[in-house]
Each structure stands twice: as structure tokens, then as C-alpha cells.
Structure 1
Amino acid sequence: MLASIHPLGERARRSRWGLTVTAYLLGSVAGGAGAGAALGAVGSVLFALLPGAGAVRAWSVALACVLAAAVEVRAGGLRLPTVRRQVDEDWLTRYRGWVYGAGFGFQLGLGAVTIVTTAGVYLAWALALLSGSVGRGAAVGVAFGAARAAPILAMGRVQRPDQLRRLHRGLQRWAGVAARISAATMAVVAAVAVAVSAGAAWPG
């Protein structure tokens, strides 16, 4: 779907790339914010019932990060669970650019309603849940939605078919590196969470 929204394609559909992409970005942020807020609300109820919720939350964050990092690098043959659904590309010819931009973006921001390619999706929603707050959950969702949609900005310079092909080859080459960076980041967050939980357990 990302391959379909670029200046070359938008001109062919008589849509404005800037308007479509703006709607796409806003839709993704809105989807992420809504999902994150909902999970944060669930988390607030759960942690209100748990004794020592702060330590439980920190250890849970660490565990979620370690598990996500392991899945990201396929450690031990782990596989990423996902659905097989894609967005409906018929929208590209059925609706105006800003409509399918917002619709595609919103689905992307929800995270798991289309094919999931990174464990970071599940980690983001675990962190929203573990935030234990509607506001913090929404903030996690906003960050997730923005990060998930941002790669489309790389399409801004695509004016010819050969440029599109080169861009996709470049993205494929960097996919493995991106997965390793993602896993390393998750490991760092896990280490910080362990340190926080240890500090909560043994103050002073």
C-alpha cells in the first residue's frame, strides 16, 4: 500500500500528494491515539487492583521488551503472529485522496488490523496497557502512529518509475538493519525497566 501513495501515483489519480499524505499521517496518529487510550484505560483498572503496581509495571515492561526483541530477530525460531488482512486498494480509485489517505492511515495506526511486520507493534500496545493511564496510553499511541506513518515521507521525491524501484530496493536492503536496531532499542528499554523495578524494590 505504501508503494501506491507517491507523487507519481497521486498525479495519475488527479489527487494532491501533500493532501493525501497529511490525511494519512493524521489518520495514523488518530488511530494510534484511540487504541493507546483504550489500552491505557484497561491498564488503569488492572493496576488499581494490583498491590505493588509500580514494580509489577516495570518488570512487565522489561519482560515485554525482551520478548519483543527476541521475536524481532526471530530468536529460537520465534515467529511474528499476524493477520493476513491488507487495506483495500480499491479505495485508491473509489475515493478522493484525502479520504483513502485518512482511512489507510487510521488502520495503520491501529496497528494489528493489517499485516504486522515488526514486534514493535505489539510492544507499543503492551506499553500503552502498562502505562496504566488513558493520557499516557494515548501518548504512546500518538508516538506509535506518527512513527508508523513517517516512512511514507520518503516517497516525496518519487517522480519517475525508476526512482520508485530504487527506493524500494533501498528499503529492502535496510530491513535487516532496521530489525536489529529495533531489537537493540527494546533491549535498552528492558534494561532501564529492570533498573527502575530494582530501585522500587530496594529503595535507598
Structure 2
Amino acid sequence: MTFLLAMLVAVAAAVRSTWSPCGVSMLSTITPLTEATRGHRFSATAWWYVIGSLVGGVTLGALIALPALAIGTIGESSELLILAVVALVSVASDGRLAGFQLPGHDRQVNEHWLNRYRGWIYGAGFGWQIGFGLSTYIMTAGVYLLVVAGAVGGSAVNALLLGAVFGLIRGVGVFAASEIRDRESMANFHRRFETWRQPVRKAMIIVLGVVGTTAGIGSGGLLGLLVASVTVVATVAGVRTNRETSYRMRAVGTGST
């Protein structure tokens, strides 16, 4: 059960992260319109981006695999209880309950790569940073939960799979911009894209809540049930808030390396 819940977190966190400043900037930076102005083909750069993101995800998986191998098997009940507690903390963080938010950082990719390197280099390079998940803006505590879930699972193979899925989904998101061929279509795309920001944020909180509740119940015992109960309450409260991340929404061009 731990692996299945962790995979759900990986998918949801990857989708949610598309609305990070880096995710949004990639949908403005790697498009048919912008690639044409640089003399590159969008499809080629985009696929290099996907490859880089997949490799970045595998790198994240390898990082998770280290504690997984060190910890080994601790028993499913213990795994689920740890997962439930961290999921509860993640719900509180994403829901900004009582102003609580886990620490993150606002690192952006280096925009100078666009004029300095060929399309396949910045495509793969940007992709790796996005797919790794921890090197740029962290939009959801679900990324931290993914790391913990993979680590306590005790399986290096599962950890690599979790990272790969996370990275792949983050990478293929660039194809959402495949129809941006002029300034009007770019403006229309991002206008529609922004309308999904709050629904996706709330959906992420619900996923975290489902994972925490399921893990708490699955762990057995009174402590697990208590964590599950608190998670349900926290999830409802988190979904009702409209607080977005406190990170400044910066486009490529103003961030540092």
C-alpha cells in the first residue's frame, strides 16, 4: 500500500508543480513561437526537455533510494504511520493552516542559457532541474512527502520508479504549450492556465488528505486513527482557504542560478 500511495503523491505533486514560477516560465520559454525566434524546432527542444526531466526524476529517485537502502524494511504498519504523519504536515503546509508553511526556496533556472547554448542543451538542462524537483521552486509539500514515502518504503527500485514518474510527468507538461504560435495565443493560453491554479491547488490538498487518511487507517491502532481523523479536518480546512504560495512569481530572466 505504501508504494501505491507514494505513486499517487508522485503524480499529483508533478502536476501541481506545473503551476510553479518555473513551470509557468517554461510554458512561455519553450514554445513554437519562442523556439522559432531562436531558429530552433519546438519539438526537438521539447523532447530534450522531457529527456532531461526524466533523468532529473531518476536522479531524485536515486537520492531517495539511499535512505531507502539504509532504512531497509521497517514493516508496513510503521511505514504507513510515518506516511500519515508527514501527509498531515503536508496538508497543513499546502493549506497554509494557521499560516504554517514548510520551508522552500525561490531558485529559478538560468535564463542566460537561452542565448548561450543550443536548444538541446538548455532543453535538457532546464528539464533536469525541473524533473529533479528540489532544485527550483517547490510548489507543494507533496514533493517532501514523496521523498519520505520513497525512503521509508525500503526499496531502491520503487524509489527510482517514483522519481522517474515524477520527472516524466513534469517533463511532458511542456507540450501543453505546443499551440502557442503567436502572442495572442500565448496570452490566451496563460489566461486559461491561470484559471486552473486554485482548483489544482485544492485538488493537491485533497490528494494529500486522502493519502494521509488512508495511511493512518491502514497503519492500524489508535494513533493511526487519530492522525487520520485530524487529517480529514485539516484537509477540509485547507481546501476552504485561498492562500497561494508566498513565493514571488518571477519569470525566467529575473532569477539567479
- 1:184 and 1:163 mapped to 2: Cα distance? 32
- The 2-side partners of 1:125 and 1:148 are apart by 16
Find the counterpart in structure 2 of residue 45 from structure 1: 70
After TM superposition, where is structure 1 displaced by more than 6 Å over at least 4 residues in a row?
A: none
Greater share of residues in helix: 1
RMSD: 1.8
Is 1:25 aligned with 2:50? yes
**Offset of residue 154 of structure 1:** 1.0
2:71 and 2:151 in contact (8 A); partners too: no
* Pairing 1:15–2:40 present: yes
2:220 counterpart residue number = 198
Alpha-carbon distance between aligned partners in 2 of 1:198 and 1:147, rounded to the nearest angstrom: 33
Residue 6 (structure 1) aligned to one of 3, 7, 31: 31
Correspondences of 1:118-129 after superposition (within 5 Å): 118-129=140-151
**CA contact under 8 A between 1:124 and 1:144: conserved in structure 2?**
no
Q: How far off is 1:164 after superposition?
A: 0.8
| Shift in Å, 1:177 | 0.7
1:76-128 CA distances to partner (integer Å, 9 max, x unpaired)?
A: 21224222221101111111111111100101111111122222222222222
Task: Determine the C-alpha separation between the residues in 2 that align with 1:197 and 1:60.
Answer: 9
Contact 2:92 2:101 in 1 (8 A): no
Inter-partner Cα distance in structure 1 for 2:57 and 2:117? 23
Matched letter for residue 112 of structure 1: L
**Bigger mean CA deviation after superposition, 4-13 or 126-135:** 126-135
Specify the code of the residue in structure 2 equivalent to 1:24: Y
1:127–1:140 Cα contact (<8 Å) kept: no
Percent identical residues: 31
Judge which range, 99-108 or 54-63, deviates more.
54-63
Structure 2 unmatched runs, 5+: 1-24, 224-257
The equivalent residue for 1:71 is 93
SS in structure 1 of the partner of residue 220 of structure 2: helix
2:61 to 14, 26, 36: 36
